[in-house]
Amino acid sequence: MIPTPDLRHLTAQDYDRVYEPAEDTFLLLDALEADQHDLKRLRPLISLEIGSGSGCVSAFIAKILGPSVRTSRPTHFSPSLTSSTVYLCTDINPHACRCTHSTGHHNAAPLDPINTSLAGPLARRLHRAVDVVLFNPPYVPTVPDEADDAQQARGIAGAWAGGVDGMGVTDQFLERVGELMSDRGRFYLVAVPENDVPGIRERMLRVHGLQSEIVLSRRAGREHLFVLRFVRAQGASQTN
Ligand SMILES: C[S@@+](CC[C@H](N)C(=O)[O-])C[C@H]1O[C@@H](n2cnc3c(N)ncnc32)[C@H](O)[C@@H]1O
């Protein structure tokens, strides 16, 4: 069993401003643990977490993958060269970026937080380069104004306020994630029934050529949580 990252450096004051890992976070950790052998085989060069919050999820995948992997990619360097996985993390909340950085430091995980919305300015440089994409989004349905205000304020409400069907932020990312994923890339997304999980899956396959599986689902109090894993569908046309 892979230990949950050490978060003892984060305080109650941090959790006033940044999402405290909860059942959704832990379901995502469990999904990654269930996939750990595939993830190691994948030998990712770039992992990108959107909305890293405390940094718990990226620190966990760094534990799975270890500090460095041997590159299997064609390279003009020596084939025996070792190559570290890069753990890019974005969050719209600046304090979340500080927490992600300190969580990386306390867990010997080289996390690189960037304070931006979604993939922000990285998107062009990361075109079809990301091997693992992770997103536990603000998925709670709210009125649109609440989600817009939360995105503007870049504070704790941005951790949950999701707008109509809880999909205001997630939909923006789903439009672009295919452009980020490498050919062998995989994308893990947390969702709840209000987000219309079958609808997300059908649309991602039809519009973006990404097929999906439900890796894990769990009831947690009043919430029913899902982790979806997307990969490129066999023979999907390269439209991105
Ligand atoms: C449900 S919390 C998840 C935090 C952490 N990944 C976890 O699993 O515990 C959602 C996170 O997404 C961030 N977020 C919300 N909107 C965002 C956006 N447009 N771009 C990047 N991050 C965003 C929030 O600040 C928050 O840290």
| pLDDT in the model for residue 70 | 43
Which pLDDT tens digit goes with each residue over 98-123?
A: 999 999 999 999 999 999 999 999 99
Residue 237 scores a pLDDT above 80: no
| pLDDT in the model for residue 76 | 38
> Relative to the CA of 25, which ligand 1 atom is closest?
8
β-strand partners of 130: 181
Of the CA atoms within 13 Å of residue 132, those in its CB half-sphere come to 27
Which pLDDT tens digit goes with each residue over 191-224?
A: 999 999 999 999 999 999 999 999 999 999 989 9
Phi-psi group of 53: left, alpha or beta (phi > 0 → left; psi -120 to 50 → alpha; rest → beta): left
Q: What secondary structure letter does DSSP report for 180? A: H
Structure tokens given for 69? 């992997």
Can you tell me the distance from the alpha carbon of 24 to that of 7, in angstroms, rounded to the nearest whole number?
A: 16
| pLDDT in the model for residue 67 | 62
> Relative to the CA of 52, which ligand 1 atom is closest?
6
Model confidence at 75, pLDDT cuts 50, 70, 90, reads: very low
Give nearest CA residue, ligand 1 atom 27: 53
Over range 17-40, report the average pLDDT: 98
CA of 25 to the centre of ligand 1 (A): 11
| pLDDT in the model for residue 235 | 74
Is the separation of the CB atoms in 141 and 193 below 8 Å?
no
CA of 44 to the centre of ligand 1 (A): 22
**Structural domains of the chain, ranges and CATH numbers in brackets:** 12-232 (3.40.50.150)
β-strand partners of 224: 219
151: how many CB neighbours lie within 10 A of its CB? 18
| Mean pLDDT of the residues in the chain | 92
Give nearest CA residue, ligand 1 atom 26: 159
Residues with beta carbon inside 6 Å of ligand 1? Answer: 19, 21, 25, 28, 50-54, 56-57, 90-93, 96, 117-118, 136-138, 151, 158-159, 169
Between 144 and 69, whose confidence is greater? 144
| pLDDT in the model for residue 83 | 52
